[in-house]
Structure 1
Amino acid sequence: MPISSKGFARSSLALIIVGLLALIGIVGTTIWLVERNRAHFDEVTEARAARTAAVDLRNLLQSAQSSQRGYLLTLDDRYLEPYREVVDRIVPAYELLDQLLLPYPEAEQPMAQMGTDIETKLAEMDRTLDLARQGDLQSALGLVRTDQGEITMERMRTLLDAIVFAADERTFNGVMEQRGAVGALRIIAIIGALVIIAVVGGAAWLVLRYTREIDTARAEVETLNRDLEARVGERTRDLMRANEEVQRFAYIVTHDLRAPLVNIMGFTSELEASLGPINALLESHPDNPDDPILVEARQTAADDLPEAIGFIRSSTKKMDGLINAILKISREGRRELRAERIDLEALVESTVSAVRHQVAQTDGDVVVKVSTPPVFSDRLALEQILGNLLDNAIKYRHPERPIAITIEGRQERDGRIVIDVVDNGRGISAEDHDRVFELFRRSGNQNVPGEGIGLAHVRIMARNLGGDIQLQSNPDHGTTFTVTVAPDLRAIAKSKD
């Protein structure tokens, strides 16, 4: 099933959201696991520090006690060297351990007891050593035999062993927690990678499928365009042939109509000339009101015949104007267009200069705003188009305001040349916007002479130049005629060939 643009957009958005959620999940879980790892690492570090401090304190106490016992047994000062080295380090070691165990309220009471025991043990060892140095060895040994120092030492050793065991257990648990966190992080990374790979793969598949469908559609469109261009070219040639046939038919018809029209006009002149002898004959007879034939003849010669001849003349004159109009349009349609390089601004200025004096008589003005590159078109057709539109703007001016005409020229993005002829005349009613381009059709008050072929002629010429003409009009503001022509008539001529 083909993927529509909306379907592609929705699917892409869904994949982006899934990928974003997966990325957020991976990042969030990673940060959480890293924080947990850091907490476990800190816990392991604190446990190792507490264990080290407890072992150090235990070793110091044992070293001090062993040195005391050795001296009491041998009275050799060499055995006092370890005692002198460690005795001053015992209290700082205890304070360090107590500081490390502050976060654990359950260690407060045992550590306080240990502080007391350390003071007691140090006092007992100092006392025995002083007695031994003074020569009272028996009193010193008696003090040792009371086992109070050993009991105190055993109590401290038991507490320190418990601290070491607890530290080892915390270290083990912390390491296991770290391993668990690392394993979870590995699993999350693998799952996230799989999700991202799936999202990227789905997006790539979607893009490739959509691109493939676009390429297929483009190929189909190109094929259709080629077929359409061929059909349009064929239809254009058919229309051109039909148009040529219509133009030839119009020329033949109007040419054939002119001959009887000339005869009618000639015989009308002869009828008018015949009125002279008839009137002379009637004048030669005296008036006789009792003669109805003479009265009727006088009325016919004086009133009826001149009136009939006048009607015939006006009708033939109108018919002659229509035939001339059809011939003009027919000739224009059969005229071969000649494309030449034209400076459109200069052409507009030249056309405007021919009517500027008529505009000036009404205190009006014509403004030219043309900014187009040179065009390749038929100069005569462009001059006739602009001339007709300017003549209409002057003929159909508003009686209550001076003529104001603006001619603007520009080039659209597709290359077409657009010319706007804006006037402030009496305007064209909405229902006549299309009719005014029909042959012999006029709009509004018919107080201005004309056959109604000007705009029809303009439309034919504009279409011959590869464009068209449209209008926008409001009786209160005037009319804007928009003429479009091809920028290069030579390309159109080649397509016709």
Structure 2
Amino acid sequence: MPNSAFRVAGGTGQRLIVSLLAVGSLLLVVGLAAAIMTMRSIGADTDAVEATLETQAVINRIAALNEQVETGRRGYLINGGDIFARTTSDALDALDDVLGSSDALFQSTAEQTARFADLEQLVEERAALVRQQLRGPAMRITERQADSFSTDRAVLITREIRALTGVMAEREKERLSQRNTNQYNSLKQFYAIAGILLLLLMAVMVTALVVVIRFNRALSAAEADLRRANEGLEEAVVERTTELRRANAEIQRFAYIVSHDLRSPLVNVLGFTSELEAAGKVVQAHLDGLRETHPDLATKELAYAVEEDLPEALGFIRTSTEKMDRLINSILELSRQGRRTLAPAKLDMNELVGAVVDTLYQRAHEEGASITVGDLPPVESDRMAVEQIMANLVENAIKYLSPDRAGEIRIEGGRERGLVHYDVIDNGRGIAPGDHDRVFELFRRSGKQDKPGEGIGLANVRALAYRLGGNVTVQSELDRGATFRLSLPIKFRAVEET
């Protein structure tokens, strides 16, 4: 339960945090996109305002030069003199320059474009009249005493220019007002978006902070529950392990006692079997004598019983007692292995396995099998126990090779997480997945029973591996070979009975 709660709390908290981060990121992207669009709008409005202000300045400049031309012209016509002529001529030149460089400013609307075209035409017409007057006699007022300035064409043009620039300035003023309003609205929109985005991000951050705090509290509670559960579990494991070791010790003592007690009647059975065989020889000799002296007494039933039944029964008794003797010896060996004091040492596994392979070379050669040994990592463990395990695994690989293909046996090794492992790999008969645990049980065998054995070897192998602090496992499929793996701690760590 604590582990489950820990996983649930961790998974829920992580999902919430990831979701909040995703929402925050999405809000940030959306807000940035909106802010960028608003800033572009503000920039466009600012450019428009600046353009309008520049246009107003040009219109004001044109209006001022227009008045300056008319003032200079009148001064020249009334008073004469070069100063008024130069003033008027300079104003005309300046006005031409302003108009020539400002054409693009008045292309925003059709109305302003048309007005600017009219303005250029009026300025050009008035300039021609004024320049002609400036080229006339110095004193022209006496000739024009009867003429009124109000009907002079240049004056009329000046008034038209004044009125036209007034209209154009008023229009730009309206546009400036509108563009200022647009700029203000864009700024308000930007600040609104920034404020909303800030509020949303703050809400996400506050929510994430609350979730993290709750998640940490849940994790702390789950860790506390897990520690309490582990403490109780460790005590239970220690207690049960102690009980298991004691039970194993009792089983070993029981096996030792039983095997000794079984051996006495077995010896008696073997002895009486020998006596029965000797008696059978005597009866056989007597039967042979009856056949010569009293053939009528040597009946077929008697001959069958003496020559067939009795030898068959004695052979069965002897075979059974020999098998029982092997079983008792195996049980005694298991008992002795369980009581033997382990002697850890640094083992050169290349040398140890090489010696095992050399011992089994003849059997492998007879079976037509090859054995290859890879580079094996060293280990600190009990030499005799490791030798027995490896010898049993290699011997089993030789014993259960497939008759359908040449036998190949490989021995490989490696390291991982404080352990070393040694794999005995063959291409033999294989083991059905349902029998992977069965083959390690005492007196249990799997597959076709055409090879001698009592079902003790692999049980002894696993028991020895357990004592060394390791394990033996198998991976296999029928007719696809098998891989038996011996795993041991790199540093000796025995499991002893108490």
Q: Per the shorter chain, which TM-score range?
A: 0.7 to 0.9
Q: 1:272 to 1:148 in 2, by over 3 A?
A: same
Distance 1:426 1:124 in 2: 122
Residue 367 of structure 1 and its aligned partner are, at CA, apart by: 0.5
Residue 349 of structure 1 and its aligned partner are, at CA, apart by: 0.8
Distance 1:376 1:318 in 2: 37
Residue 69 of structure 1 and its aligned partner are, at CA, apart by: 2.7
Distance 2:453 2:480 in 1: 23
How many residue pairs get matched? 491
Letter in 2 for 1:91: D
Tell me the equivalent position of 1:105: 110
Alignment of 1:78-89 (within 5 A): 78-89=83-94
Tell me the equivalent position of 1:14: 19
Distance 1:39 1:423 in 2: 80
Residue 428 of structure 1 and its aligned partner are, at CA, apart by: 4.7
Q: Is the 8 A contact 2:284 2:306 kept in 1?
A: yes
Tell me the equivalent position of 2:271: 266
Distance 1:191 1:39 in 2: 23
Deviation string, structure 1 residues 104-149 (Cα, Å, up to 9, x no partner): 321344444434433444455456566652x553322334446234
Q: Is the 8 A contact 1:43 1:170 kept in 2?
A: no
Q: 1:139 to 1:487 in 2, by over 3 A?
A: same
1:463 corresponds to 2:466: yes
Residue 407 of structure 1 and its aligned partner are, at CA, apart by: 1.5
Letter in 2 for 1:385: I
Q: 1:421 to 1:155 in 2, by over 3 A?
A: same
Deviation string, structure 1 residues 309-366 (Cα, Å, up to 9, x no partner): 4443333333222222222222222222222221222211111111113323444321
SS for the counterpart of 2:142 is helix
Alignment gaps of 5+ in structure 1:
none
2:342 to 337, 341, 344: 337
1:156 to 161, 168, 171: 161
Letter in 2 for 1:227: G
Q: Is the 8 A contact 1:261 1:316 kept in 2?
A: yes
Q: 1:99 to 1:490 in 2, by over 3 A?
A: closer
2:379 to 375, 382, 392: 375
1:386 corresponds to 2:380: no
Q: 1:266 to 1:144 in 2, by over 3 A?
A: same
The two structures, once aligned, show a CA RMSD in angstroms of 3.4
1:35 to 29, 40, 45: 40
Tell me the equivalent position of 2:294: 288
Alignment of 1:227-246 (within 5 A): 227-246=232-251
| TM-score normalized by the length of structure 1 | 0.85
Distance 1:351 1:445 in 2: 27
Q: 1:137 to 1:426 in 2, by over 3 A?
A: closer
More displaced 10-residue stretch of structure 1: 334-343 or 393-402: 393-402
SS for the counterpart of 1:440 is coil
Letter in 2 for 1:467: G
Tell me the equivalent position of 2:421: 418
1:409 corresponds to 2:409: no
Letter in 2 for 1:371: L
Residue 241 of structure 1 and its aligned partner are, at CA, apart by: 0.5
| TM-score normalized by the length of structure 2 | 0.85
Q: Is the 8 A contact 1:467 1:483 kept in 2?
A: yes
Alignment gaps of 5+ in structure 2:
none
Tell me the equivalent position of 1:25: 30
Distance 1:447 1:62 in 2: 129
Identity fraction in percent? 36
Alignment of 1:54-453 (within 5 A): 54-75=59-80, 77-126=82-131, 133=138, 137-145=141-149, 147-149=151-153, 150-274=155-279, 287-289=293-295, 305-372=310-377, 374-399=378-403, 401-411=405-415, 413-428=416-431, 433-443=436-446, 446-453=449-456
Distance 2:477 2:129 in 1: 123
Deviation string, structure 1 residues 450-479 (Cα, Å, up to 9, x no partner): 333222222322222233333344554444
Letter in 1 for 2:390: L
Distance 2:56 2:432 in 1: 105
Residue 185 of structure 1 and its aligned partner are, at CA, apart by: 1.9
SS for the counterpart of 1:140 is coil
Distance 1:447 1:115 in 2: 121
Letter in 1 for 2:384: L
Q: 1:318 to 1:177 in 2, by over 3 A?
A: closer
Letter in 2 for 1:414: R
